[in-house]
A and B are shown apart, each in its own frame.
Chain A
Amino acid sequence: MSTASADPFELSAPPDKEVLDVSLAHASGWRFWLARNERLVFGMSGFIGVLLAWEFATRAGLIRAVFFSSPTAIVGAAWTLVSRGTIWEDIGVSMEEFVLGFVSASVLGILVGIAAGWNRQVNALASPWIAAWYATPHIALIPLIVLWFGIGLGYKVFYVFLVAFFSVTINTLVGVQSAEESYLEVARSFGAGQRTVLRTVVLPAALPYILTGLRLGAGRAWVGVVVSELVGANHGIGFMINLAGQMLNMAQAMFGIVLLGIFGIVIGELMRRVERRFDIWRPQSHSGPLRGR
Chain B
Amino acid sequence: MGKLEAVDIGMEYYQPRIRHRLLALESVSLTVNEGEFVSMVGPSGCGKTTFLKIVDGLIHPTRGNLLLDGTRIDRPGRERALVFQDASLFPWYTVIRNVAYGLECQGVRASDAQKQVQPFIDMVGLAGFELHYPYELSGGMQQRANLARALAVNPELLLMDEPFASLDAQTRELMQAELLDVWRQARKTVLFITHHISEAVYLSDRVLVMGARPGRVIADVAIDLPRPRDLTLKRNPHFLELEDHIWGMIVSQVKRTMLSDRLVAANGAR
Please count how many residues in chain A sit with their CB below 8 Å of the partner chain's CB atoms: 21
With A189-B56, A282-B135 already in contact, the answer to whether A201 and B105 are too (CB < 8 A) is no
Instruction: Convert B97-141 into 0s and 1s, putting 1 for each residue whose CB lies closer than 8 angstroms to a CB of A.
Output: 000011011100000000000000000000000000111000000
Cα-based distance from A191 to B135 in the complex (angstroms): 25
| B37 at the A interface (CB under 8 A) | no
**A191-B78, A280-B133 known; A204 vs B101 contact (CB < 8 Å):** no
Give, as a whole number of angstroms, the nearest-CB distance from A186 to chain B. 5
Q: Write out the residue numbers on chain A whose beta carbons fall within 8 Å of the beta carbon of B77.
A: 191
- A185, B58: Cβ atoms under 8 Å? yes
Chain B CB within 8 A of A267 CB: no
Residue contact A190 to B102, C-beta cutoff 8 Å? yes
The secondary-structure label for the interface of chain A is: helix
In whole angstroms, what is the CA distance A188 to B135 when docked? 23
Min Cβ gap B67→A in Å is: 19
Produce 1/0 per residue, A236-261, CB < 8 A to B. 00000000000000000000000000
Query: Which positions 187-230 of chain A face chain B at CB distance < 8 Å?
Result: 187-193, 196, 200-201, 204-205, 207
CB neighbours (8 Å) of A185 from chain B are: 58, 84, 88
Contact of A79 with B by CB under 8 A: no
Shortest C-beta distance, B141 to chain A (Å), equals 15
Given the contacts A182-B86, A186-B84, A281 and B133 also touching, CB distance less than 8 Å: yes
Contact A186 to B101, CB < 8 A, known contacts A191-B77, A191-B78, A280-B133: yes
Complex CA–CA separation, A192 to B104 (angstroms): 8
Number of B interface residues, CB 8 Å? Answer: 24
Interface membership of A283, Cβ < 8 A: yes
Interface centre among B56, B76, B92, B102 (most CB of A within 10 A): B92
Task: Give chain B residues whose Cβ lies under 8 Å from the Cβ of A191.
Answer: 76-78, 105-106
Residues of B within 8 A of A205 (CB): 92
A183 at the interface (CB under 8 A from B): yes
Which residue of A has the minimal Cβ distance to B57?
A189
State A185–B58 Cα separation when bound (angstroms): 7
Q: How far is the CA of A183 from the CA of B106 in the complex (A)?
A: 17
B45 within 8 A of partner (CB): no
Q: How far is the CA of A250 from the CA of B133 in the complex (A)?
A: 54
B58 and A189 contacting across the interface, CB-CB below 8 Å: yes
CA distance in complex: A186, B92 (Å): 14
Q: How many angstroms from the CA of A207 to the CA of B153 in the assembled complex?
A: 28
Complex alpha-carbon distance, A188 and B59, angstroms:
11
Known contacts A183-B90, A200-B104; is A189 also within 8 Å of B135 by CB? no
Q: Is the CB of A204 within 8 A of B90?
A: yes
Query: Provided the pairs A196-B104, A282-B135 are in contact, do residues A190 and B76 lie with their beta carbons within 8 angstroms?
Result: yes
User: Does the CB pair A283–B58 fall under 8 Å?
Assistant: no
- Chain A residues within 8 Å of B76, by CB: 188-191
Bound together, the chains give a CA A283 to CA B134 distance in angstroms of 10
Q: Are B91 and A281 in contact (CB under 8 A)?
A: yes
Within 8 A of A (CB), among B53-111: 56-58, 76-78, 81-82, 84, 86, 88, 90-93, 101-102, 104-106
- In Å, the complex CA distance between A191 and B78 comes to 8
Residues on A with beta carbons closer than 8 Å to the beta carbon of B93: 200, 204, 281
Which residue of chain B has the shortest Cβ distance to A182 in the bound complex?
B88
Minimum distance in angstroms from B192 CB to a CB of chain A: 16
Residues of A within 8 A of B153 (CB): 190
A-B contact pairs, 18 of them (CB 8 A): A182-B84, A182-B86, A182-B88, A183-B88, A183-B90, A185-B88, A190-B76, A190-B153, A191-B76, A191-B105, A191-B106, A200-B101, A200-B104, A201-B90, A204-B90, A207-B92, A280-B133, A282-B135
Which residues of B are in contact with A by a Cβ distance under 8 Å?
56-58, 76-78, 81-82, 84, 86, 88, 90-93, 101-102, 104-106, 133-135, 153
Other than the given A182-B84, A190-B76, 18 more pairs (CB < 8 A) read A182-B86, A182-B88, A185-B58, A186-B84, A186-B101, A189-B56, A189-B76, A189-B84, A191-B106, A193-B105, A200-B90, A201-B90, A204-B92, A281-B92, A281-B134, A281-B135, A282-B135, A283-B135
Shortest Cβ-Cβ A-B pairs, 8 listed: A204-B92, A190-B105, A192-B105, A190-B102, A281-B133, A281-B92, A182-B88, A189-B82
